[in-house]
Amino acid sequence: MVIPERTREVHKVIVPFLLVKLGIALFSVVTIFLVIIGVDYFHVLGSMGENKSLKGENFKLRQEIQTVRNKVDSMEGTIDRVRNYAKKLQILTGQGDGKKQIEMPSGPIDLEPERVPSSRGDKHSQNLFSDPGVSPVAYSPSKIGLEEKLQKLQVDGEQTESELSKLHVYLIAKSAIINATPSLLPIAGWISSTFGYRRNPYDGSYRLHSGVDIAAEPGTPVRAPADGLVIFSGYREGYGKVIVIDHGYGIRTLFGHNSAVFVGQSAKVKRGETISQVGNTGHSTGPHLHYEIRKNGIPVNPATFFSRGRF
């Protein structure tokens, strides 16, 4: 029934129940449709915001990847330069052409000016030289994937580190070898008698003079030509007051005719340390130092090492 506000006439409208059902159903469908559209709309809005954020992150990631690529290329060049530097160091240290792996010195000593014995060790002879060297591998950066570059960079970096580590250890060993090499004159003076066969000034016999005689003023300080261990300090027939130093690997030095000795047996001495004074004890015709170098008990010419310098 419809009752107007200003008139008293009442209108009666009869709505079939089926039409009411259809209206309700239609309203429900429309409502559900609108809800679905609204939910989808808000989902799309959220996706648009997320998509915009992902685009920004993707752009940043591309920039970061490009930066990483540039750094990888730079590191490749750095490793290449480091390897070339290692090879130059190898050549400068006389380790060959760079095609052999570095090995620590071992074996008997070759008493030549360009070779030196190893650092102090036991008194048994060992091979000190085996022509050690570095083995840098050819390195040429190529345009490959970032992952492959990183893997190659890791392998090359580890190999370069290993090579430089071996070179570092070898150079330390070489430094110790140089310190233990009797390559310096124990005193400043002039050679009055060289190494080799000569007439003995006492009995006139022709025999080997197993060292060199260095003439100097009495009391001149005698210094150790290399690091070593004193194995004898005292009086010995013919040599007078004498000192014998073991430098390791069968190398020993002997200092005879001293007027005084300042180190005792079992004392450790360093290169340049004063060990005695020049004198005229034993079988001597004047103040001088009798200086010997022996390898495994066999005398060798000390002049071999004179070119390496003096105090």
Say if residue 280 is in the same domain as residue 171.
no
134 occurs within a structural domain: yes
**Residue-level pLDDT at 137:** 37
| Domain that residue 132 falls in | 73-179
Say if residue 236 is in the same domain as residue 140.
no
Among 146, 179, 212, give the residue marking a domain's end.
179
Say if residue 129 is in the same domain as residue 196.
no
277 occurs within a structural domain: yes
If you write DSSP's letter for every residue of 232-289 in order, what string do you get? Answer: EEEEETTTEEEEEEEEETTEEEEEEEEEEE---TT-EE-TT-EEEEEB--SS-SSSEE
61 occurs within a structural domain: no
Instruction: Please report, for residues 176, 224, 250, the alpha-carbon distance to residue 272 in angstroms, rounded to integers and kept in the order given.
Output: 15, 5, 21
pLDDT tens-digit map of 282-301:
988 899 999 999 988 899 99
Among 157, 179, 201, give the residue marking a domain's end.
179
301 occurs within a structural domain: yes
pLDDT tens-digit map of 102-151:
554 543 334 343 333 333 333 333 332 233 333 333 334 444 577 777 77
Q: How many domains does the chain have?
A: 2
Say if residue 298 is in the same domain as residue 235.
yes
The CA distance from 32 to 24, in Å, is 12
Q: Does the model's pTM come out above 0.75?
A: no
Tokens at 42, concatenated = 């808000």
The CA distance from 224 to 213, in Å, is 16
- Mean per-residue pLDDT for 85-96? 70
**Residue-level pLDDT at 221:** 96
> 69-78: long-range contacts at Cβ-Cβ below 8 A with a sequence spacing of 24 or more?
69/146, 69/149, 72/146, 72/149, 72/150, 72/153, 73/141, 75/153, 75/157, 76/139, 76/141, 76/149, 76/153, 76/156, 77/141
217 occurs within a structural domain: yes
68 occurs within a structural domain: no
Say if residue 167 is in the same domain as residue 88.
yes
- Mean per-residue pLDDT for 17-35? 89
The CA distance from 258 to 277, in Å, is 6
37 occurs within a structural domain: no
Tokens at 113, concatenated = 């000016």
Domain of 297, CATH number, reads 2.70.70.10
254 occurs within a structural domain: yes
Among 148, 179, 210, give the residue marking a domain's end.
179
Give the chain's length. Answer: 311
